[in-house]
């Protein structure tokens, strides 16, 4: 067997410098990549278990079928999030054979083992991979990328199930729950969501869903809950049932993140609850469905040219989707191409799409307080794209901190700048505030007007509420347990005094040694409680912690053996009305 490292220290150093500089030369400037960024970008993909077409490249180093299958699984679990399904590059560099074959196996092994300042994790020296796996992956990326299957209408119809037809559903609410204050909490590793009564803090039902539910969305009427797993399975839950549960389901692809429903009611018609939409990571497409049954009606692909470079991208993933309040439109954000698509759903037989170019790697975002402007993070571009949903245009591109990750962001009234929207960041400790009032505070509109200092990088969600005087920011991906297990809270009326730290994980009173990462502040309907997930591993105890927003004191801890890996949670009323 060939040795992994060159013989002498001098040769090793030279090889490392050559490998790292060569691969990083044309990459975006990401020097000083932090551990939170690496954790976030190196996420897995549900495609790891999918059968794929395999092409044998005679120029590539030999691999047995078993080796290839093992390497393919590792790639989709560890690498596809950065380098793309087809290895054409996303936030990471392209790893196609025209590039990798010229480098050679030994060269690639050094790069995989040690990583680079441009963002490549040091897989071997960090202990994540052993020498054998590094060798396997170095050979694998010299082969032609295996291609996952497409997922069209026929495949969707095979997965589509109407569990309770519309005519057999309740005609009135059949339970005594305060539906508007129900929380839908993702149980990430069990393929479920927990429906929790926000008034009593009791679990109403554990509902079977797709794997690793990414978001829950409430229909415009507030009756139905739509959840989507990373495996692209959508579940429709009827909150009027005696015990709320699934009434329909469908898969719209093999990997996905986003779902929403039509909300517009105006001169073009009443579209309340009439349609649903979901976007896929693979295949790159979005799907419009019937809002009462999830029957797929229209599939639209997103493959196309990247904003700016005008180069073709074969797998631009659909990230966040929201429903416009101003027009019968869905706002569809396409990650790699950097485009926001305003999809007019008033006539699906003559679909009209307005394409707005902003910046690559569009991810998540939320409405400003007027619900006219959608603020979406172009995360690897370090920008917030401001989409004017009324006029259908790009209002601004705002430079912010490193890798913004707002979730939906947070709206509040700043003492000086008026209405602002805010985001935290994965790559640094800052919180950026952006003015959102072009009429009353024109000089501050769509500019970064202030920057708060937070606990550290690794922030995923930030939240406030119209009835609250506080701003909450989590940091679950920070490598320091003291930071990842707590949250920072700011007094909106006195932001200059800095933040107060709430030891949420400590308050949970968990007895084991789990990670206890604190994630996603979410208000109740009244705006006087804030809920947090304390997220540990599947075999460790987790919990939900409820904080009194007025006093910042512990109010309740929700523990249950069924609360396995709780992550995101969504209040029905606040989600329905886009309150954050």
**Which segments of 241-400 are extended strands (E)?**
245-251, 255-261, 265-266, 269-270, 275-282, 285-290, 296-301, 304-305, 312-313, 318-323, 329-334, 339-344, 352-357, 362-367, 373-378, 383-388, 393-399
Q: What is the value of pTM for the model shown?
A: 0.89
- In this predicted structure, the answer to whether residue 30 has a pLDDT above a threshold of 80 is no
Mean pLDDT calculated for residue range 287-301: 98
pLDDT at 192: 97
Of the candidates 354, 321, 322, 317, the one whose C-alpha atom is nearest the C-alpha of residue 338 is: 317
- In this predicted structure, the answer to whether residue 3 has a pLDDT above a threshold of 70 is no
- In this predicted structure, the answer to whether residue 25 has a pLDDT above a threshold of 60 is no
Mean pLDDT calculated for residue range 510-514: 86
Rg (CA), the chain: 24
Q: Is residue 156 within 8 Å of 250, Cβ to Cβ? A: yes
Longest dimension (CA), the chain: 78
Of the candidates 562, 518, 564, the one whose C-alpha atom is nearest the C-alpha of residue 537 is: 564
Residue-wise pLDDT tens digits, 203-225: 999 999 999 999 999 999 999 99
Q: Is residue 519 within 8 Å of 476, Cβ to Cβ? A: yes
pLDDT at 571: 98
Q: What is the mean pLDDT of the chain?
A: 91
Of all residues in the chain, what percent carry a pLDDT higher than 90? 82
pLDDT band at 418 (very low <50, low <70, confident <90, very high): very high
- In this predicted structure, the answer to whether residue 15 has a pLDDT above a threshold of 70 is no
pLDDT at 415: 95
pLDDT band at 156 (very low <50, low <70, confident <90, very high): very high
Of the candidates 109, 128, 105, the one whose C-alpha atom is nearest the C-alpha of residue 42 is: 128
User: Residue 295 burial by CB count (10 A; 0-12/13-18/19+): exposed, middle or buried?
Assistant: middle
User: Mapped to the 3 state alphabet, what secondary structure does 105-127 carry?
Assistant: HHHHHHHHHHCCCCCCCCCCCCC
User: Residue 108 burial by CB count (10 A; 0-12/13-18/19+): exposed, middle or buried?
Assistant: buried
Q: Which residues are catalytic?
A: 79, 82-83, 120, 363, 405
pLDDT at 41: 62
pLDDT at 157: 98
CA distance 387 to 382: 16
Residue-wise pLDDT tens digits, 521-562: 999 999 999 999 999 999 999 999 999 999 999 999 999 999
- In this predicted structure, the answer to whether residue 12 has a pLDDT above a threshold of 70 is no
Q: Is residue 248 within 8 Å of 238, Cβ to Cβ? A: no
């Amino acid at each position: 067997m060939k040795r992994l490292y060159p013989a002498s220290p001098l040769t090793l150093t030279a090889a490392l410098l050559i490998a790292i500089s060569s691969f990083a030369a044309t990459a975006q400037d990401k020097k000083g990549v932090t551990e939170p960024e690496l954790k976030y970008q190196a996420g897995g993909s549900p495609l790891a278990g999918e059968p794929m077409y395999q092409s044998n490249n005679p120029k590539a180093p030999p691999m047995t079928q078993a080796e290839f299958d093992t390497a393919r699984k590792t790639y989709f679990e560890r690498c596809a999030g950065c380098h793309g399904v087809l290895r054409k590059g996303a936030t990471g560099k392209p790893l196609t054979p025209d590039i990798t074959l010229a480098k050679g196996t030994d060269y690639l092994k050094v790069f995989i083992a040690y990583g680079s300042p441009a963002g490549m994790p040091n897989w071997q020296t960090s202990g994540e991979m052993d020498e054998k796996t590094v060798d396997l992956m170095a050979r694998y990326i010299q082969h032609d990328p295996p291609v996952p299957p497409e997922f069209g209408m026929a495949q969707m119809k095979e997965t589509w199930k109407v569990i309770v037809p519309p005519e057999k559903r309740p005609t009135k609410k059949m339970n005594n729950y305060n539906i508007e204050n129900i929380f839908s909490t993702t149980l990430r590793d069990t393929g479920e969501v927990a429906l929790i009564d926000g008034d009593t803090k009791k679990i109403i039902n554990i509902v079977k869903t797709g794997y690793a539910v990414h978001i829950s969305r409430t229909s415009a009427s507030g009756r139905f809950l739509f959840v989507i797993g990373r495996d692209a399975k959508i579940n429709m839950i009827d909150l009027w049932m005696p015990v709320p549960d699934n009434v329909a389901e469908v898969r719209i692809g093999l990997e996905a993140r986003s779902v929403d429903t039509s909300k517009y009611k105006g001169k073009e018609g009443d579209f309340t609850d009439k349609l649903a939409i979901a976007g896929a990571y693979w295949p790159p497409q979005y799907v419009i469905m019937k809002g009462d049954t999830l029957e797929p009606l229209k599939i639209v692909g997103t493959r196309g040219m990247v904003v700016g470079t005008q180069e073709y991208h074969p797998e631009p993933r659909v990230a966040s989707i929201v429903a416009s309040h101003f027009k019968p439109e869905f706002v569809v954000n396409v990650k790699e191409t950097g485009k926001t698509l305003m999809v007019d759903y008033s006539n699906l037989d003559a679909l009209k799409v307005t394409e707005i170019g902003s910046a690559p790697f569009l991810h998540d975002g939320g409405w400003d307080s007027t619900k006219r402007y959608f603020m979406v993070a172009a995360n690897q571009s370090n920008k917030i794209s401001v989409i004017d949903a009324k006029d259908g245009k790009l209002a601004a591109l705002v430079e912010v901190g490193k890798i913004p990750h707002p979730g939906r962001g947070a709206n509040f009234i700043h003492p000086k700048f008026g209405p602002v929207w805010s985001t935290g960041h994965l790559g640094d400790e800052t919180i950026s505030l952006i003015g959102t009032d072009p009429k009353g505070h024109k000089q501050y509109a769509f500019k970064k007007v202030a920057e708060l200092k937070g606990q550290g990088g690794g922030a995923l969600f930030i939240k406030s509420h119209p009835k609250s005087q506080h701003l909450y920011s989590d940091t679950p991906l920070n490598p320091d347990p003291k930071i990842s297990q707590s949250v920072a809270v700011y007094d909106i009326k006195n932001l200059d005094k800095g933040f107060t730290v709430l030891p949420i994980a400590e308050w949970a009173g968990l007895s084991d040694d789990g990670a206890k990462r604190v994630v996603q502040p979410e208000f109740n309907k009244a705006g006087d409680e804030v809920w947090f997930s304390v997220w540990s591993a599947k075999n460790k105890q987790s919990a939900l912690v409820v904080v009194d927003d007025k006093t910042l004191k512990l109010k309740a801890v929700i523990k249950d053996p069924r609360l396995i890996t709780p992550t995101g949670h969504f209040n029905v009323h606040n989600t329905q009305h886009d309150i954050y």
